[in-house]
A = this chain, B = another copy of it.
């Protein structure tokens, strides 16, 4: 037996010796070590040569250029390959250390085609990928196609630019520069286009110096509120000359985009460019990761823990974690057992009586019986997820603890939110933008919500606020709460217009609006209305049927009113609002197309992985996307399949947010939990994490002054010039890579259009 055992052992050893020296497990995916070793070696060699003679160094650097495709001839090389060189020679680039760039030389058409030979990226749906791969091989982009594609992308970007500027939302300067270049016009820097944010520092509830009444008259027409100098002008229908939206133009633009995202060559082109972006980043990372890390290590005092990060997507009613809510409920019982807190039709109940009625005692409550956490049961089931907002399944408790308008005037809810705020202040570097609901069911919702806000003095320096509007017209209509959709819009927007025109008559609301930075449109996107928005669609006042309007219909009318409202508020020197809907969590691609046109930024964006054209457009316009992989993991998409890493590598402007800490998170610091899990699962580097954190500050609605404080004074500039590493801890090499890559893609479009002339 021993000899047999020895044989077994020997074979074990042999087996182990060969395989396990380096890898004790089947390593079938990329093992990053060898890259690092190569990099360390190159680095070492460079240092050596630097020490000896300059010539040798130069020779070495000459080999740094990585050619992804073999140059075909010296003469056919276009200007494209020189974009980076042009940029990097600019004097503002001083702060960027030398790094290794990925350059494409040779004819750009061949360069584009060359991309298609790459193996599909690591996505799980490999069959889909490879099918697409074959399609690519057939539909090679021809020069003619290329021109068509560039025209399409150019017009798409112009459309977004127009809608953003009209509504005082954001469009970056760099693509504008390229668009003007194509138009043959000079770029006119217009700072007045920037959205207006609240100035910090003053008493947040100050009502003394509210502006005077303008005396304007308001009337809704075609779902949009029009502003008239007086009632007479209103009856004559002579509105004041604010820029009002034009529905026909919108529908034309929408139809153009609908056609564009389905066009074969545009799909192929976008798909290839995205794949290129992905490969390019991987090469960049391979070559420069250690240099980026070096920058961060030499950056004093700043690390991931003390760079600012904003939770850009969080619902106020679920902003505490389950344990916090449980503790609060138990505490409230401890203190308030005999207080009247709830009113039924028959009688008023004390907290004790309420729990007795529900047949429970708070001492026995646990997070299990509270049952507000998403589990395996909620996956693919938005309806079950919504039920989770009811603690212990009892709507009474939701009403008592998570609502603003109840018997105790939302006191408990206010206290919980203030506790969450206090935790943020203590953590110092974390901010949040909780979203509160306006339903549009009745016109007094705003005054109730704002008086809750002001009376409870809900203010936290680390919080700004948003309004979310659930898309549940159909529910209200079926219960006959509303006569038509127009009324819902009126309930949502008219009070805000009124408070803007006559702030002194609505002091609470005027104060509240100062803290509001944007509007969200929210509901289960996987429900489909079946309605297509067209010129034949009923106007909101005519929309009397019980069916819900489509996502685009909702979004357009929200945007239209926000646009007029922002013009008015801008004129009065008040803060303006951004449109930041939930978009692309599920459902049709038209949602993302709509957001591309009219939303400043979005939450989720998962479905971008289904449309290469929209994904590429979101990249080109650098539209911020607040992703919440833990939320998706419980509802729509398993964590490891989340496109977060893919999008980040391609250079989409991604931030991380919690969505619903009550339902999805376990620890006391939900935002840190979100970052930690992403860092672990996707193996993010510090630079990756700090880049995401920086994106979150750019995306959010905090004031200009604060952004300058958190990101550096130049933060409005794009590229490395706009980055202050001492504040953001993002390597300048990374910033330069992102900026050059972005310019390269924009320049491709410009070049494509030049050659047609």
Interface residues of A (CB under 8 A from B): 1-2, 4-6, 8-10, 12-13, 16-17, 20-29, 31-33, 36, 124-125, 128, 251-252, 254-256, 258-259, 261-262, 289, 293, 296-306, 323, 361, 363-369, 371, 375-377, 379-381, 525-526, 528, 530, 532, 534, 586-590, 606-607, 630, 633, 636-641, 665-669, 672-673, 675-677, 679-681, 683, 685-686, 729
Q: In the bound complex, do residue A588 and residue B13 qualify as a contact, i.e. CB atoms below 8 Å apart?
A: yes
Q: In the bound complex, do residue A683 and residue B376 qualify as a contact, i.e. CB atoms below 8 Å apart?
A: yes
CA distance A633 to B680 in the complex (A): 8
Name 23 interchain pairs, CB-CB below 8 A, sorted by A. Answer: A5-B258, A5-B259, A8-B261, A8-B262, A13-B532, A13-B588, A16-B587, A17-B528, A17-B530, A20-B528, A21-B526, A24-B636, A25-B606, A32-B377, A289-B376, A293-B368, A302-B366, A666-B672, A666-B675, A666-B676, A667-B667, A667-B673, A677-B677
Closest 6 interchain pairs by CB?
A300-B364, A303-B366, A5-B255, A24-B586, A666-B676, A5-B258
Interface residue from B12, B366, B587, B637 paired with A299 (Cβ < 8 Å): B366
Q: In the bound complex, do residue B23 and residue A380 qualify as a contact, i.e. CB atoms below 8 Å apart?
A: yes
Q: In the bound complex, do residue B379 and residue A31 qualify as a contact, i.e. CB atoms below 8 Å apart?
A: yes
Interface residue from B17, B128, B680, B685 paired with A630 (Cβ < 8 Å): B680
**A24 proximity list for chain B (CB < 8 A):** 380, 525-526, 586-587, 607, 636
Q: In the bound complex, do residue B32 and residue A376 qualify as a contact, i.e. CB atoms below 8 Å apart?
A: yes
Q: In the bound complex, do residue A380 and residue B677 qualify as a contact, i.e. CB atoms below 8 Å apart?
A: no
CA distance A607 to B526 in the complex (A): 43
**A683 proximity list for chain B (CB < 8 A):** 375-376, 633
**A380 proximity list for chain B (CB < 8 A):** 22-24, 27, 31, 33
Q: In the bound complex, do residue B667 and residue A672 qualify as a contact, i.e. CB atoms below 8 Å apart?
A: yes
**A302 proximity list for chain B (CB < 8 A):** 366
* Known A-B contacts A5-B259, A32-B379, A303-B367; A590 and B12 likewise in contact (beta carbons under 8 Å): yes
Q: A2-B251, A31-B379, A300-B363 known; 13 other A-B pairs, CB under 8 Å?
A: A1-B259, A8-B261, A8-B262, A20-B586, A23-B380, A24-B380, A24-B607, A297-B369, A301-B363, A305-B323, A305-B367, A630-B680, A667-B676
CA distance A381 to B33 in the complex (A): 8
CA distance A20 to B527 in the complex (A): 8
Q: How far is the CB of A36 from chain B (nearest CB, A)?
A: 6
Q: In the bound complex, do residue B589 and residue A5 qualify as a contact, i.e. CB atoms below 8 Å apart?
A: no
**A251 proximity list for chain B (CB < 8 A):** 2
**A532 proximity list for chain B (CB < 8 A):** 6, 9-10, 13
**Identity of the chain B residue whose Cβ is nearest the Cβ of A669 in the assembled complex:** B667
Q: How far is the CB of A734 from chain B (nearest CB, A)?
A: 14
CA distance A630 to B679 in the complex (A): 11
Q: How far is the CB of A247 from chain B (nearest CB, A)?
A: 13
CA distance A587 to B677 in the complex (A): 28
CA distance A668 to B159 in the complex (A): 47
Q: In the bound complex, do residue A9 and residue B303 qualify as a contact, i.e. CB atoms below 8 Å apart?
A: no
Q: How far is the CB of A655 from chain B (nearest CB, A)?
A: 17
Q: Please indicate which of the listed interface residues A306, A369, A586, A668 has the most CB atoms of chain B within 10 Å of its own CB.
A: A369
